[in-house]
Amino acid sequence: MATSHSMTNNLPQLTHPDGSPIRALMVDDEPSLSELMSMGLRMAGWSVAVAGDGPEAVKLAGGRAPDTSHRAVVVILVT
């Protein structure tokens, strides 16, 4: 069985053309899901901030300047 480390060695590191990491804000009220998803993104080289609810997400996003030099990807899952 392959370890998570050996599996990630084969993944391309996702970065912007200038080499900076892709940023993501993970928002979910289920801590185990947030941790699982953010762990996967971090393993692929993303810089991830995690919020447990909408108000916390707004607070975290407010402290980060928007990245206007790169495309944005937004994924919304409602369950």
CA-to-CA distance for 60 and 50, rounded, in angstroms? Answer: 8
Is residue 73 situated within a structural domain? Answer: no
Structural domain span for residue 28: 12-62
Residue 67 within any structural domain of the chain: no
pLDDT in tens, 7-34: 556 666 777 788 877 888 888 899 998 8
- Measured distance CA(22)–CA(33) in Å, rounded: 20
Q: What is this structure's pTM? A: 0.64
**3-state SS assignment for residue 48:** strand
Q: Is 39 a member of any domain? A: yes
Total tally of structural domains belonging to the chain:
1
Domain membership of residue 70 (yes or no) is no
Residue 51, in any domain of the structure? yes
